[in-house]
Structure 1
Amino acid sequence: MSTVAPDKLQARADRKTRKRQEKKDQIARSAMQALQELGYANTSLRDIAARADLSLGMLHYYFEDRTQLILHCVSLYKAAFISGLEDALSDASGREPVINALANALATSIVEDASTHRLWYDIRGQALFDPAFRPMVRELEAALIGVVESAAEKTGSARPDMGEFGYALIDGVFRYQMQNQLTGTPRDHQSLATEMRALLEKLF
């Protein structure tokens, strides 16, 4: 009787886990449009299934409930946003290049992804009431604080409280710009970047 080597069993298990993760990511990307349009409170799994052209059974197979799916969606998109900021800063060196790189990256994200950011702020607000969202919010905000700390180091303005203080200021302006982009008068990339740059020059 032949047996399967432990390393092959592990490789098989790893492939299965990877495929499941890829499918969950695929479903989350399909579900994002419904969530962007309707928001957390107004979106059910049935709404997501209908708009994403998925069966309700498929959603339940990969996600236990709506909260799990929404957490996965927000984590997926926010991780990409943070990665984009890190990439923008990676080649920048010196105060002005760092400020310009970060201001441009933030402005680009508002122009291209305002509706997606709206979902993040919706979920962050829900975390004040629903403990299920709090670990994800803490994790993502810690990563964003890390981006600010990295920018501060690159500009030579690092100090112990810069990460949290800087994040709070940048986030406030970013959220206002995003809100105006969706519900007020949309602005072009240049004007958004100019406003963000003015803030960063005062911060760093």
Structure 2
Amino acid sequence: MAVPRARVYKPGDRGGYVWELQRRLRFLGFYTGKINGIYTWRTYRAVRLFQYAFGLRVTGLTDAKTRAKLWKATRRWRPGGVRAVQARRVYRKTSRQLSWNDIKLMAHTVHAEARGEPYIGKVAVAAVILNRLKSERFPNTPASIIFQPMAFEAVADGQIWMQPDPTSFKAVRDALNGWDPTNGALYYFNPARAKSKWIWSRPQIKRIGRHIFTK
């Protein structure tokens, strides 16, 4: 689809290009809203996630650089719609395929979620993210997992943007190298603070530091 290269797309814009933008963002797992050709705030947030994950300036606006990076990342996408299972097969990340931006975002999450925990507790948080990445029950990119609504408290309160310390990066590397202290956990919670009946109902695997890890 031909688009004037100088144009910057923003919330409120409409048209076929926005429809294609939403489709491509969904193909990568960043956009989960309705495909309606309207640059909604949900589209804006999906663009921000994509920009962060791919090392671009985070604005939420689709400029020429964002457009070029997104089109390159979704070169296998077709308007007819690659089936979801095919998209997952192409873009499902493994520990050996993560980019530097994936690792950095995971380190941000580990630092914010496990500050003050023993080192094994930091590795455990990283392992949970990787376990979700391997599961068909979750999105297929680290960014879309981490920024899923209500998935991580550190995202909701903004602490995810704190600068991660070196041990958080090391914890991510250890998890990538196969260390999973949680034995396959997909969730965790702090029993001193958790009020959700749902999280308490999950089958518990083990406790590490202040967190209980569950299936």
Report the TM-score when normalising by structure 2.
0.29
Which structure: greater helix fraction? 1
Which structure: greater strand fraction? 2
Structure scoring higher RCO (CA < 8 A, sep ≥ 6) equals 1
Report the TM-score when normalising by structure 1.
0.30
